[in-house]
Chain A
Amino acid sequence: MSTTAATSPVPGKPLKPQQGPTHPDRNHKPAVSAKPVTWKLPVTLLVLAVVAFIVFGLLGPHGTAKFGISSGGDFFQLPAIEVPAYLAGIVLSVIMLGLAGYAMFLKTKNVRPPRWLPVIFTVLFVVSFLIWVVGGARTPSISLAGLIAGSVTLAVPIVFGSLSGVLCERAGVVNIAIEGQLLGGAFTAAIVASLTDNPYLGLLAAAVAGALVSMVLAVFSIKYVVNQIIVGVVLNVLISGLTGFLFSTVMQANKEMFNSPGRLPIIEIPVLSSIPVLGPILFKQSVVGYLMYVAVIVVWIGLFKTKWGLRVRAVGEHPQAADTLGIKVNATRFWNVTLGGAVAGIGGSFFTLVAIDSFTKEISGGRGFIALAAMILGRWNPIGAFFAALLFGFADNLQSIVTIIGTPVPSQFMAMLPYLVTVFAVAGLVGRSRPPAADGIPYVKG
């Protein structure tokens, strides 16, 4: 690009003629080769592909897996897909072996594998896994549309939670308190919606409650420089105890008045919502569901395309540098953490305003921690976190479906899968995951 460097506009001023336009490239080459291509990815892929070949392929079921695509009310009907499980297992795992081989070939040439490679591989693995599970079930038929729609629904609070994590950690504050923010949001949504008979006010109150929980985290970790992880854990325990106490003393005593929030209506967009598979996911949601899509996109654009985002990321990466450029580090962090809390609070309202219409103890059930895992698996990127959360929602949903259709695999194993994936992801096998450099480090001036 900098071809103009060769002709200085100011005559007689030193430039480096012999370096000319090619020089920037020369600066880059060594840097690229300096990050060595490792064996991690190819080896991991190979191991997984071999496992798939043996388990899903050679040892796979000989039945036929049936996947329903359309649901009854769809605009047009598509026939169900019927897959011969054994053949599919062999074919898909051979493709996976091919991909693993390609990754190995690239490694020998010292070329970094393209980003689509692990993604495609994951998709193939999940698909062959699904065929294997369904093909071996007592009733080898599931509704694909239902599976996916259910996954998205289960993923909603996780997505909000992981966005909260992204907002906080990109600014350099570790947010372990997502669980508490979700729970606080759920509780407040229930109580406010019950008292006002207006679930929308409940939604708003949930955001405020999440923000308040977050402010406690912000004040202690930013102003008083208390260890952020400790504050977060303490907050989770505190909110859990507080909501549990209020639940048994106040809500239980007068259920009608305090714990009957009513549900947020499902808003169906005509025509679009009857598109098979995609329709229900994108166009048949509650306000919270629509807000989720909006939030993911807004946070992504905000972080990577705006002035605000540049400053937030700077604060999370190198607060001192930001400070020398006149950016108020701790104020930025404070408001980001608060905003994150509000986002998580909205996610919490999903439990009491969408999923069920009442609050119970520990209703968030550890999803705040799963959200944290989703954030890491999504590499601190809102869109990555969204898909990671979907994966967790998918595993969650699959677990219950598998129980219904009856497979040889115990559903508990299915439930472990997402955590296994996270451990591998965090270990860096799936890709380099690098947290913001100043994540969790308080900034003290001077």
Chain B
Amino acid sequence: MVRVLKLELKGITKRFGSLVANDHIDVVVEPGQIHCLLGENGAGKSTLMNVLYGLYEPTEGQILVDDKPVTFRGPGDAMAAGIGMVHQHFMLIPVFTVAENVALGAETTKAGGFLNLDDTRRKIQEISDRYGFDVDPDALIEDLPVGVQQRVEIIKALVRDAKVLILDEPTAVLTPQDTDELLDIMRQLKSHGTSIVFISHKLREVKAVSDTITVIRRGKVVGTADPGASTTELASMMVGRAVNLTLDKAPATPQETTFEVKGLTVIAPSGQHVVDGISFDIARGEILAIAGVQGNGQTELTEAILGLQDRVHGSILLDGEELLGRSVKEVLNAGVGFVPEDRSVDGLIGTFSIAENLILDRYDQAPFAKGISMSPAKVLENAKTRIDEFDVRTPSGSLAAGTLSGGNQQKLVMARELSRPLRLFIASQPTRGVDVGSIEFLHKRIVAERDHGTPVMIVSTELDEVIDLADRIAVLYKGKLVGIVPAGTGRGVLGLMMAGLSPEDAHGDAAGSHPAPPTAGTTAGSPAETPAGSPAEPQSGSPAAPQATKQAPAAQPVQESRSGAVGDDHE
């Protein structure tokens, strides 16, 4: 009954003016396969998929569906041919219900053009039941957590009978738990005969689900790889040079403790304690990583330190001086460097030049300003030095910062924050949406700052990053500090702590209920506990296998944490 579809892209070239985004790309998606397009940000993966989905017209080349050439004039044509797409930034209307979003564009109507949403509700229920999505058709999208919104996107494609589903960077917005659930869903879809084009630059996920991997670099296909290939191999194919994935860092040599947070509480406008009585300290020459699922108070914690939050109680001491109650400017001048979690919103001004962005915090100080006048020459000179030092890939410092790729924007923000003497360095999500090559660089800079003797605080929802960087790990859950554990604590333990279990309980549970490797892929962070090279194993089993582990007691709290954490997401 399930029709399968073979999809072929032949010599696709897409130019925007003089820029060649795709250069003669050939890709064949065999029916019933998970085909991964691996490549760094800006390699041209999304452009290619937008061509395939009818959003862009290719400059050259052909799309073949079941060996017959087709032309897509718009997404409507692509959908009619059985292609569905889940965009990186969800294409959902926040004030509509799930049913309305799913119906949109393919509405079933009664006489006179009246909507028949019951029909859509029934279809949603059917799909939701088949894949265990658990989506309420009448919920408003804006009330749903990101993970559920993504399922709505998948339902949207399935309702339209998609035989090939394009997932564009689907895990970029997900928590580790949600990511693992998504990978399960992908396997299920595959077993039901849906082919999947999975676009990603995250090697662990790619290796875990793919049947075939096509690597794209700078708009060209540089080769195909086997999912069994090692991560280092894949990474170097993707980046085009040897990449060191494991961060070489010397053990920390903590000196005196200069940064102290005591009983910090932040109250949201709703009256909720989003940060609730947190105490910790960081020594000079030490990295403390704050781990936790997004929305558990991390944002408010960093903002409170910087002076961006209004209702804060407790004490924040830097070098024995109270930071609380000072203006942001005073906090910055006290030597606090801050990389905000969303660089494009809080980190830089897209329409300002790179040079201007590099002095946003010091525009009124020497040598950039004299009295009320600025000296543009000094600003540009500074830009040249920083661009070189931080390897920001740009032809000129006078270009708008918004034109840079994500990784280069992040280097820019980091360059600004690290370019003055610091007494404390805070980086929130330092490598979110950043390509592998840049991650390596950014991590090295953070460690260098630590070795320079600065207390460093990293906030990350990426367990990989926390484990790579941290000298100590503090886990936040619902605004409370669950515990502080040393570096080297296992992923399983950390995952359970992120779900609110105390370190002691987490240790017990993690030891007790993870007897066999096949648990990978479902529980919090366990995939990495299986040795590198073997994550392909669990998915080769029957699709029923993940279910078994879902019911395992250890997995349950993690599930709970997701819906629990969701509330905080929507503050």
Q: Which residues of A contact B (CB under 8 A)?
A: 1-2, 4-5, 8-10, 12-19, 23-24, 26-34, 36, 110, 305-308, 310-311, 313-314, 317-318, 320-327, 434, 437, 446
A308 to B109, CA, bound (A): 10
* A36 and B271 contacting across the interface, CB-CB below 8 Å: yes
How many angstroms from the CA of A362 to the CA of B564 in the assembled complex?
60
Interface contact A314-B93, CB-CB below 8 Å: yes
Q: A24-B134, A27-B136, A34-B270 are contacts. A14–B148 as well, Cβ < 8 Å?
A: no
**A8→B131 CA distance, assembly (Å):** 8
B139: which A residues are within 8 A, CB to CB? 24, 27-28
In the complex, per-residue mask of B79-120: 1 if CB is within 8 Å of any chain A CB, else 0 = 100000101001111111000100111110100111100000
Contacts of B544 in A (CB 8 A): 12-14
Q: Please tell me which one of the listed residues B103, B130, B269 contacts residue A8 in the complex, with CB atoms under 8 A apart.
A: B130
Taking a contact as CB atoms closer than 8 A, the residue among A5, A31, A313 that contacts B570 in the complex is A31
The answer to whether A27 touches B144, judged by C-beta atoms less than 8 angstroms apart, is yes
The segment from B427-435, B490-498, B546-554 found at the interface with A is B546-554
Q: Does B464 contact A (CB under 8 A)?
A: no
Give the number of chain B interface residues (Cβ < 8 Å): 69
Residue picked from B132, B144, B564, most chain A C-beta under 10 Å: B132
CB distance from A71 to the nearest CB of B (A): 39
**A446 in contact with B56 (CB, 8 Å):** yes
* B287 part of interface (Cβ distance < 8 Å): no
A314–B141 CA distance with the chains assembled, in angstroms: 13
Cα separation A94 to B218 with both chains bound (whole Å): 73
- B145 in contact with A18 (CB, 8 Å): no
List A contacts of B74 (CB < 8 A).
Answer: 326
The verdict on B231 contacting chain A, using a C-beta distance below 8 Å, is no
Check A13 against B188 for contact (C-beta < 8 Å): yes
Q: Is the CB of B568 within 8 A of A30?
A: yes
B positions within 8 Å CB-CB of A: 53, 55-56, 74-77, 79, 85, 87, 90-96, 100, 103-107, 109, 112-115, 125, 128-132, 134-140, 142-145, 148, 184, 188, 268-272, 543-544, 546-547, 550-551, 556, 559, 563-564, 566-571
User: Which residue of A has the minimal Cβ distance to B148?
Assistant: A27
Q: Determine if B92 and A321 form an interchain contact, defined as CB atoms under 8 angstroms apart.
A: yes
A selection of 25 A-B contacts at a CB cut-off of 8 Å is: A2-B125, A4-B129, A5-B134, A10-B129, A13-B188, A14-B131, A15-B129, A27-B143, A30-B568, A34-B567, A34-B570, A36-B269, A306-B112, A307-B109, A307-B114, A318-B92, A320-B91, A321-B92, A324-B53, A324-B75, A325-B79, A326-B75, A326-B76, A434-B95, A446-B55
Nearest CB in chain A to that of B295: its residue: A30
Select from chain B the residue with minimum beta-carbon distance to A18: B556
Chain A min CB distance to B298 (Å): 17
Contact flag A31-B144 (CB < 8 Å), given A8-B132, A18-B556, A321-B91: yes
The answer to whether B113 touches A33 (Cβ under 8 A) is: no
The answer on a CB contact under 8 Å between A13 and B130 is yes
Q: A14-B547, A24-B139, A327-B105 are in contact. Are A317 and B128 (CB under 8 A)?
A: no
Tell me if B132 and A15 are in contact (CB < 8 A): yes
Chain B residue with Cβ nearest A320? B91
B-chain residues with CB within 8 Å of residue A13 when the two chains form the complex: 130-132, 188, 543-544, 547
In the complex with contacts A8-B130, A437-B95, A446-B56, A27-B566 CB distance below 8 A: yes
Q: Assess the A306–B134 pair: CB atoms within 8 A.
A: no
**C-alpha spacing A415/B546, complex, angstroms:** 69
On whether A17 and B551 interact (CB within 8 A), knowing A2-B125, A10-B130, the answer reads yes
Enumerate chain B residues within 8 angstroms of A2, measured Cβ to Cβ: 125, 128, 134-137
B129 contacts A12, CB within 8 Å? no
What residues on B are CB-neighbors of A326 within 8 Å? 74-77, 79, 105
Apart from A30-B570, A33-B567, A310-B103, list 5 A-B contacts with CB within 8 A.
A27-B145, A36-B271, A305-B115, A310-B96, A325-B105
The reply to whether B136 and A322 form a contact with Cβ atoms under 8 Å apart is: no
Kindly list the 3 A-B residue pairs having the minimum CB-CB distance in the complex, ordered from nearest.
A30-B567, A326-B76, A325-B105
Determine whether the beta carbon of A317 is less than 8 Å from that of B96. Answer: yes
Query: In whole angstroms, what is the CA distance A180 to B100 when docked?
Result: 35
Residue of A nearest to B105 (CB): A325
| Residue ID in chain A nearest B121 by CB atoms | A1
Instruction: Give chain A nearest CB distance to B115 CB in angstroms.
Output: 6
CB distance from B471 to the nearest CB of A (A): 34
Q: A317-B93, A325-B91 are in contact. Are A310 and B107 (CB under 8 A)?
A: yes
A33 surroundings in chain B (CB, below 8 A): 270, 272, 567
Question: Considering the chains assembled together, what is the distance between the CA atoms of A1 and B376 in angstroms?
Answer: 64
With a CB–CB cut-off of 8 A, which chain A residues contact B547?
12-15
In the complex, residue of chain A having the shortest beta-carbon distance to the beta carbon of B74: A326
- Say yes or no: A327-B136 contact (C-beta < 8 A), given A13-B188, A34-B567: no
**Contacts A324-B55, A326-B74, A326-B105: A18 and B567 contacting too (C-beta < 8 A)?**
no
Whether B104 contacts A314 by the Cβ 8 Å rule is yes
- CB neighbours (8 Å) of A17 from chain B are 550-551
In the assembled complex, which residues on chain B have CB atoms less than 8 Å from the CB atom of A23? 134, 563
Chain A proximity of B44: nearest CB distance (Å): 15
Task: Establish whether residues A323 and B75, one from each chain, have CB atoms under 8 Å apart when the complex forms.
Answer: yes
Q: Which residues of A contact B77 (CB under 8 A)?
A: 326
On whether A1 and B138 interact (CB within 8 A), knowing A12-B544, A314-B93, the answer reads yes
8 Å CB contact of B143 from A9, A28, A310: A28
Expressed in whole angstroms, the Cα–Cα distance for A392 and B232 within the complex equals 70
Asked whether A18 and B131 contact (CB < 8 A) given A36-B269, A305-B115, A325-B75, the answer is no
